[in-house]
Structure 1
Amino acid sequence: MASDKFTAFVRPAVSKTGWLLGLLLLGQYTGYSQAASRKYLVLLRDKANTPYSLSRPEQFLSQRSILRRQKQNIPVLERDLPVNPAYITQLRQTGAKIAFQSRWLNAVLVEATDAVIANVQKLAVVKGLEFGRSLSNARLEASVQAIPAATASQARKLGALEPLSYGTSLNQVTQLGVDRMHEQGYHGEDILIGVMDAGFLNADKVTFLKPLFDEQRVVATYDFVDKETTVYEDDSHGLSCLSAIAGTVDNQLYGTAFKARFVLLRTEDVASESRLEEANWVFGAEYADSAGVDVISSSLGYTQFDDVSTSYTYQNLDGKTALSTRAAQVAAETGMVVVVAAGNEGNDSWRYLSAPSDAASVLAIGAVNQTGQRATFSSFGPSADGRVKPDLAARGQGTVIGDPGGSIVLGNGTSFATPLVAGLVAGFWQAHPQLTAAQVTTALRQSGSQFGNPDDALGYGIPNFERASVLAESFSELLIYPNPFSDVEPLSVFWGEVAPNVPLDATLTDLSGRVVWQRQYNAGGVAAFALPNLNLSAGLYVMTLVAGDKKRTVKLVKR
């Protein structure tokens, strides 16, 4: 898409930008001061009689988002439709204050007193409340305020900085083979990366990001904490993460995709830790989807909250329970590659990864040092249901990054390993644009330094651009992954032998020959699809694929 049109569709004017429906404020947000006010994620029963249509996705998605789906044979589903405006009206009539809505969850974030939320729950259109309770106490500001300095525990969560007199990013780049990627001319051009974080303090002022802003490659910003469009006056953690992808300082720092475009989203409030921030993560991911983002980079994780009664247990990290995890899985299913930090709890009593890194289809990133050994703080897997986690690892101990004062420093944390891999994803996808998001994720996993022998410390190991590129060529044949598959890890099919625009017929049968699923896809340049969740019983199945004069039959195992 031409740059002038791209700029137009990321303008934050709700009245003229259909894809922002339900992502920015739904009307004037005016909080009120009663101590009993709480924020709730209200779940709605359905999307019946909605004015939006699956046949007109331009009502709520950008053209770039629609094209991303079409390229990957991903249909627009009912979950993509915005919340029914008539239901919003009913919620407002109770006195509830509306903040944001979620298409994917069919939910609305409201603020209400005890009496108001009781009336909300009596509405016929309301299914219930997420988690059955409030997400957090209301925290409203009359004006934008600076975030207080992070406590020691918050710094550990986000990744700590230490001064560096002079440093080089050579090791963290070559460790991933990104130097060879750059040599081949792939720097992330025309790839749109969404960075979701706690703030990007001074990002628009520091010299190491000057080319990014001079070239107007930050195409949209939004702050879901303070409900405003600017993101440059809050916490600096997102700035440091962004620098690992986009920074450019000769002889000191080059990001892994320093020519990419960016959407910068603030979803995290470092002054607190609550499930409200997970809800913000959902809204941010939906914003990224609607804007047409290709890659999400998020160095945020959730396990323990200020209200300990709402904290997760390790058993909750099963790929389908945590709020942010469910959103991350859907984000991947819309055709984005989602890259998230595994966490910095390897030395703590928690020890394990955090949400949303337990989602099946995301790349959860652990941290290594200069020699490729696991950083002692890097969180362990597996997921609670036994899947390999983390997925991959990158330099997270002594990572060369930038700080809000404009200096180049060293950082420690899976927070900083994550954007390095996100930049690798961007350049790799740029080099192999025929791939789907699921194929990109698969190729990078399989390029890991220990793919043949994954463990709970580094998963499949350190990915590599050239190894992944070799694997990308093999996708010209047939790849069905994973096998065995499960409801948590859905089956993806890629058949590169199919000529563009040749219909692909897919049929799944059980061993008795009974057809349990059947569909025809129109391959617009790549034959790829994901099997929907059919609630199949565990056992053996047979998939038959027919495209023109080509036919393939594969046995599959459902766990």
Structure 2
Amino acid sequence: MAKNKWFIICGLLISFWPNESAWAQRPGLYLLRFRDKTGTPFRIDQPEQFLSARAISRRQRQGIAVTERDLPVVPAYVQGLRQAGAKVVYTSRWLNAALVEVAPAGMAPLLALPYVAGQETGRVLNNVRVGTEAGALQPTMSKFGQADAVPAYGSSAAQLTALGVDQMHAQGFRGEGMLVAILDAGFLRADKVPFLQSLFTDKRIISTYDFADREADVYDDDSHGLNVLSIMAADVPNQLYGPAFKASYILLRTEVAATENPVEEAYWLLGAEYADSTGADVINSSLGYTKFDNPADNHTVADLTGTKTLVSRAATWAAEAGIVVINSAGNEGGSSWQTVGAPADSPGVLSIGAIDQAGNLARFSSTGPTADGRLKPDLVALGVSTVIGTPGGAISRGNGTSYSGPLVAGLATGFWQAFPRLTAAQVRDLLRRSGSQADRPDNQFGYGVPSFPRAAQLLTGKLAFSIYPNPFTSTDRLQIQWQEIPNTTPVDLRLTDLSGRVLTQQRFGAGQSLFLVAQALNLQAGLYLLTLTAGDQKRTIRVLKQ
């Protein structure tokens, strides 16, 4: 066998084996968790070893620290698995695990290794080998033009104007400079169809990867991801426009449409890590997991707490890394399952239901609550007769929460572009609060239909300056909004007690989110004065520590 080769692609460790004949004897995929990251050559204070500059910048803007969870797995552990007979397919930073291919009889030596904590599940994740090759990518960012007049939306006007996307575009926010990762089942002929041609002409497809087939090509499999991408990024005058038709995209195949196996949740985790490491701002996933080809692998409704399934934990970790994660609620509303699937149950995810043009909930749209009683879905958008593009190059229509989700993801992309000082958590919160029934949310429509102008009004109107939470506790992270100042202006923060004694001073650079970590200050209960200064403007507000 030729010598094995290892590549680090944006923090994701991928292994290549040139000798394909060996695969025929390796039928099972298993996810093995490591006990720790002891002895890792990677360091938290040197994130450039495993995260792109864009990924580091996204975290810094939001005040999100790089933690041990972000470190790649220990290379010596990976080498040990290989020496014990495993084929290491991928490794996961967040789960601290390796996806290995090995015959069932070869599992015992792997589980006996002192640094292996056990399996993520007690079963083989997939018995089918669906691909052979992998490919490395070198992402590069493109430059973007300036805003034009509102496009002629044609038949897609209804799905855009319902969200206020026309007003978003009129203000010049079409996704320029934003990076969106789409996790789906394939993007059949996306590189050929005319309605997406500008993405390729402008070099705004930053990278692609197929986790199932282990290759760079994502254009030869299922068409579902193409439909989703068209909803977000198409630009065909008088026919179809996406809310974020000037954004850049990462296209990741994590789903195998022909089968339903737990390994697809592992692929979703790996796709989210890839998106994180390349610096994606938004993840759209029109996927959900409830039942599998092997009934023994099925989830139950009781599993939908946002913390039990692998894919929901992965979505939460992505949100905690500062990514806005949008996921379709699911199409189980008319079935015995009825509720949302995973990862739509994650508390860090905006899960999106489907309505028709009259505002009625689609019969198939999954409802809430989650097993632990949380409201879901979060929002709804048009998912009945949604205008989409097809692999043949035609403009058509389709039904499903798979198609309402990308509309909200495109809205979130443009909204965050408009207000770049926001954190991912604030974007999620403001979109919920912009919903058409935000004052009376329920488990059918969530907070209703989101709106760009309503979300913007929350910031530029009476909430031009706000601090949340206030009062606060020792464990809170205070989020500060000051929309009256340009995004290019640095801000100085000072916290004093009532006698004027300075307790902390911080400077936030251009574009950084404004925040204060209470735990780092060790404050006693009482009143304090928080002062922010930007050029000749100053704001002082009282904050209460409980």
Q: 1:491 to 1:35 in 2, by over 3 A?
A: farther
1:38 is matched with which residue? 28
Distance 2:421 2:19 in 1: 43
Q: Which is further off, 23-32 or 331-340?
A: 23-32
Q: Say if 2:201 is the partner of 1:214.
A: yes
1:170 is matched with which residue? 157
Cα contact 2:196–2:233 (8 A) shared by 1: yes
- State the secondary structure of the residue aligned to 1:225: coil
Offset of residue 251 of structure 1: 1.2
Distance 2:214 2:506 in 1: 41
Match among 319, 344, 356 for residue 331 of structure 2: 344
Distance 1:29 1:337 in 2: 40
Q: Say if 2:312 is the partner of 1:295.
A: no
- State the secondary structure of the residue aligned to 1:87: helix
Q: 1:31 to 1:260 in 2, by over 3 A?
A: farther
Cα-to-partner distance string for 1:1-31 (whole Å, 9 max, x where unaligned): xxxxxxxxxxxx975xx55343433665847
Match among 95, 102, 114 for residue 92 of structure 2: 102
Cα contact 1:98–1:111 (8 A) shared by 2: yes
Match among 16, 19, 22 for residue 12 of structure 2: 22
Correspondence list, 1:445-456, <5 A: 445-456=432-443
TM-score, structure 1 normalization: 0.83
Cα contact 2:492–2:505 (8 A) shared by 1: no
Q: Residue type matched to 2:457 in 1?
A: V
Q: Which is further off, 492-501 or 97-106?
A: 492-501
Q: Say if 2:478 is the partner of 1:493.
A: yes
What RMSD in Å do the two structures reach over aligned CA positions? 2.9
Correspondence list, 1:398-477, <5 A: 398-473=385-460, 474=463, 476-477=465-466
Distance 1:143 1:85 in 2: 22
2:469 is matched with which residue? 480
Cα contact 1:30–1:97 (8 A) shared by 2: no
Match among 390, 400, 414 for residue 377 of structure 2: 390
Q: 1:298 to 1:475 in 2, by over 3 A?
A: farther
- State the secondary structure of the residue aligned to 2:12: coil
Q: 1:328 to 1:531 in 2, by over 3 A?
A: farther
Offset of residue 503 of structure 1: 5.7
Cα contact 1:243–1:402 (8 A) shared by 2: yes
Cα-to-partner distance string for 1:108-140 (whole Å, 9 max, x where unaligned): 000111222110000000001002222121424
Q: 1:361 to 1:24 in 2, by over 3 A?
A: same
Offset of residue 361 of structure 1: 1.4
Q: Say if 2:306 is the partner of 1:319.
A: yes
Correspondence list, 1:340-379, <5 A: 340-379=327-366
1:81 is matched with which residue? 71
- State the secondary structure of the residue aligned to 1:329: helix
Cα contact 1:14–1:21 (8 A) shared by 2: no
Cα contact 1:475–1:494 (8 A) shared by 2: no
Q: Residue type matched to 2:90 in 1?
A: F
Q: Residue type matched to 2:275 in 1?
A: A
Correspondence list, 1:205-354, <5 A: 205-354=192-341
Distance 1:418 1:246 in 2: 13
What is the percent sequence identity of the aligned residues?
49
Q: 1:399 to 1:240 in 2, by over 3 A?
A: same
Cα contact 1:193–1:262 (8 A) shared by 2: yes
- State the secondary structure of the residue aligned to 2:469: strand
Cα-to-partner distance string for 1:122-169 (whole Å, 9 max, x where unaligned): 00000010022221214244589xxxxxxxxxxxxxxxxxxxxx9700
1:56 is matched with which residue? 46
- State the secondary structure of the residue aligned to 1:181: helix
Cα contact 2:184–2:286 (8 A) shared by 1: yes
- State the secondary structure of the residue aligned to 2:275: helix
Cα contact 2:27–2:129 (8 A) shared by 1: no
Distance 1:305 1:191 in 2: 35
Q: 1:414 to 1:111 in 2, by over 3 A?
A: same
Distance 2:445 2:53 in 1: 38
- State the secondary structure of the residue aligned to 2:326: strand
Distance 2:14 2:21 in 1: 16
Q: Residue type matched to 2:188 in 1?
A: L
Cα contact 2:370–2:376 (8 A) shared by 1: yes
Q: 1:140 to 1:396 in 2, by over 3 A?
A: closer
Cα contact 2:131–2:212 (8 A) shared by 1: no
Cα contact 1:502–1:547 (8 A) shared by 2: no
- State the secondary structure of the residue aligned to 2:362: coil
Q: Residue type matched to 1:198 in 2?
A: A
Q: Count matched residues.
A: 498
TM-score, structure 2 normalization: 0.85
Cα contact 1:14–1:20 (8 A) shared by 2: no
Cα-to-partner distance string for 1:268-301 (whole Å, 9 max, x where unaligned): 0011101100000000000000000001011000
Cα contact 1:365–1:393 (8 A) shared by 2: yes
1:132 is matched with which residue? 122
Q: 1:546 to 1:123 in 2, by over 3 A?
A: farther
Q: Larger RCO: Structure 1 or Structure 2 (Cα < 8 Å, ≥ 6 residues apart)?
A: 1
Q: 1:52 to 1:419 in 2, by over 3 A?
A: same
Cα contact 1:245–1:257 (8 A) shared by 2: yes
Q: 1:132 to 1:554 in 2, by over 3 A?
A: farther
Structure 1: runs of 5 or more not aligned: 1-12, 145-165, 508-517, 533-540
Q: Residue type matched to 1:264 in 2?
A: L
Offset of residue 520 of structure 1: 9.2
Q: Residue type matched to 2:127 in 1?
A: N
Cα-to-partner distance string for 1:286-345 (whole Å, 9 max, x where unaligned): 000000000101100001111111111111110111111001001011111000000001
Q: 1:280 to 1:544 in 2, by over 3 A?
A: farther
Distance 1:135 1:319 in 2: 20
Offset of residue 501 of structure 1: 5.7
Q: 1:307 to 1:35 in 2, by over 3 A?
A: farther
Q: 1:406 to 1:326 in 2, by over 3 A?
A: same
Q: Say if 2:106 is the partner of 1:119.
A: no
2:148 is matched with which residue? none
- State the secondary structure of the residue aligned to 1:393: strand
- State the secondary structure of the residue aligned to 1:448: coil
